[in-house]
């Protein structure tokens, strides 16, 4: 899945199955449970099954998201 956020847009924190996010453009913050990770070009974040995750874009963010089949 290719996803994107406009500056200031967010994905609210929510539980989900195992997912991997790889950031192609932009800056912001990704939250996984209580930890925050900077969104930068080339960053990859893995969120385990059941972890609460969300994103907040500072600039336009483009990312790839994948889940196991």
On the question of pLDDT at 52 being above 90, the answer is yes
Structure-token pair, residue 56: 């907040």
Structure confidence at residue 68 as a pLDDT band (50, 70, 90): confident
**Beta partners for 43?**
none
For 17-36, letters b (16+ CB in 10 Å) and e give: eebebebeebbbebbbeeee
Q: What is the mean pLDDT of residues 39-52?
A: 96
Over the stretch 14-26, which tens digit does the pLDDT of each residue have? Answer: 999 999 999 999 9
On the question of pLDDT at 69 being above 90, the answer is no
Structure-token pair, residue 46: 């893995």
Going from N- to C-terminal start, the domains of the chain cover 2-66
* pTM reported for the whole predicted model: 0.92
Nearest of 21, 10, 14 to residue 47 by alpha carbon: 21
**Does the domain formed by 2-66 have CATH 2.60.120.10?**
yes
Query: Is there a contact between 5 and 11 (Cβ–Cβ < 8 Å)?
Result: yes
């Amino acid at each position: 899945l290719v996803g994107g956020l406009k500056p200031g847009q967010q994905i609210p924190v929510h539980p989900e199955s195992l997912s991997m996010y790889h950031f192609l453009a932009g800056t912001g913050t990704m939250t996984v449970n209580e930890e925050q990770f900077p969104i930068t070009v080339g960053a990859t974040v893995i969120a385990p099954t059941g972890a609460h995750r969300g994103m907040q874009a500072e600039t336009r963010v483009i990312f790839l998201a994948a889940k196991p089949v």
